[in-house]
Chain A
C-alpha cells in the first residue's frame, strides 16, 4: 500500500496542482487492477516497474511544453537577439565614449584614460549583454508559455508563404557589407567628431614633472582655428552617418554606393588638406617650446612639423585610394 502511495506521490508532485488528486486516484486504481486480490510487496514492485519511471510518466501526463523556448519561437528568438545585440554593443560604446570625452578634464594622461576606458567599455558591454539576454529571454519564455499568436513563423507574427521568397536577396559573399563594418563606421565617426570638438583637451604635449603622472603642458592645436572649420566638419560627419545608414540598408556594395562613397571620401580628403594647410592650426606656443626643449633651431622645428603634416596627408590619400579601389572590386563581383 505504501509503495503505491509513494509512486502516485512521485508522479503527481511533478504535475500541476489542479490535476494531482484526480491522477493520483486514477493511478491507485490502475495499479490495484494490475494486482491480484491478496497481493505481496513483490507483486506491487512488478506492477510498478511495468509503469516505469515516475518522472517519465509525469512527463507524458504534462502537456505544457518542457522547453523554455520551443521550436515555434526559437527562430524569432535568435533573430531578435541578432538584431538587438550589435545595437546594444554599439550604443554602450557610443555612450561611454561620448561621456568620457565630455567629462575629460585633461588632468590625466590620455593614454591612461584610454586604457582604463577600454576595460570599462568591456565591463559595460558584458553588463548590458547580460541584461539584454535576460530580458529578451524572459519575454520569449512568456510568448512560449502563453502563446502570443497561434503561429509565430519566420517573421514575428506572420505565416510564411512562397511570396516571401521574392524579397530574398541573394547576395554574393564578397559583396556583403557586414553590419559590424557599418557599426564600426558609426563608432569611428563619433570618436573623430568628439575628438574634433575637444581637441584642446585631448591632444597636447604631455610631460611628467617631478616624477608625477603625465600632465598636459599645452594643447597641440589652436582650438579656435580648429573650431572655425565646423561648417565643413559637421556636414561631413552627417554624410558619413547617412552613408552608414545607406550601407546598412543596401547590405552590399553596388556601383552607386561605391561612387557616393568615393565622392564623399575625396571631398573629405580635400577638406582635410585645407584644414591641415592652415598655418595657424598648430598652437603657436608649440614651436618655441620645442625649440627650447630639444635645443634646435626654429626652422628645423617648422620643417619637422611640415613633414609630419604632409606625411599624414599622404597616408590618408593612399588609404582612401586603396579603400575606393577595394570597394570598386567588391561591387564588380556578380
Chain B
C-alpha cells in the first residue's frame, strides 16, 4: 500500500523533471536510442514510450529541430535544441536551481525539528 503510494508520488515528482533532463542532453544532436542510453547512464530512467512522444511534442513546440540522417546503414532521426530551446532550457535550469535550494532549506529545517 505504502510502496505503491511512494511509487506514484515519485513518478509524479519525476514527471516534471523529465523535460529538463531530456533538454539537458540535446545541446548536441542525439537520436532516440542514444538519448535513452545517456539518460540511463546518468541514472535517469525514462520509459521509451514516454520519451519518443515527448521529443515530438518538444519539436512541435519549436524547442527542438529534427533531421533524418541517412548517411549510415541505419537511417536515424536526430534531435537537437535550437536557439529558442536553449533559451527556454536556461530559464528552466535557473528555476530548477532556485526550487532545489528552497526545498533543501525546507527539508533541512524538517531534520532540525526531528533532532530537537
- Chain A interface (Cβ < 8 Å from any Cβ of B): 23, 25-27, 29-30, 32-34, 50-52, 56-57, 60-61, 63
Contact = CB atoms under 8 A, between A and B. Distances in A.
Nearest to B56: A61
Contacts of A33: 31-34, 74, 76
A52 B34 CA distance: 19
Nearest to A19: B56
A30 B33 contact: yes
Nearest to B55: A26
B49 A52 contact: yes
B30 to A, nearest CB: 12
Interface of B: 31-34, 47-50, 52-53, 56-57, 60, 68, 74-77
B33 A56 contact: no
Contact of A30 (B32, B57, B60): B32
Contacts of A30: 32-33, 48, 52
A60 B74 contact: no
B53 A52 contact: no
B75 A29 contact: yes
B72 to A, nearest CB: 10
B77 A29 contact: yes
Contacts of B48: 30, 50-52
A57 B56 CA distance: 13
A332 B32 CA distance: 72
15 contacts: A25-B75, A27-B52, A29-B31, A29-B32, A29-B33, A29-B74, A29-B76, A30-B33, A33-B76, A50-B48, A57-B53, A60-B49, A60-B50, A61-B53, A61-B56
Contacts of B56: 23, 61
B57 A63 contact: yes
Contacts of A57: 49, 52-53
Given A30-B32, A34-B33, 5 more contacts: A26-B32, A26-B52, A29-B76, A56-B49, A61-B53
A27 B55 CA distance: 13
Among A27, A32, A34, A60, the one with the most B-chain Cβ atoms within 10 Å of its Cβ is: A60
B52 A32 contact: no
Contacts of A52: 47-49
Contacts of A27: 52
B51 to A, nearest CB: 9
Among A23, A26, A51, A57, the one with the most B-chain Cβ atoms within 10 Å of its Cβ is: A26
Contacts of B47: 52
A51 B32 CA distance: 13
A46 B53 CA distance: 20
A26 B47 CA distance: 16
A25 B32 CA distance: 12
Contacts of B76: 29, 33
A66 to B, nearest CB: 14
B47 to A, nearest CB: 7
Contacts of A61: 52-53, 56
Contacts of A60: 49-50, 53
A57 B50 CA distance: 8
A199 B56 CA distance: 74
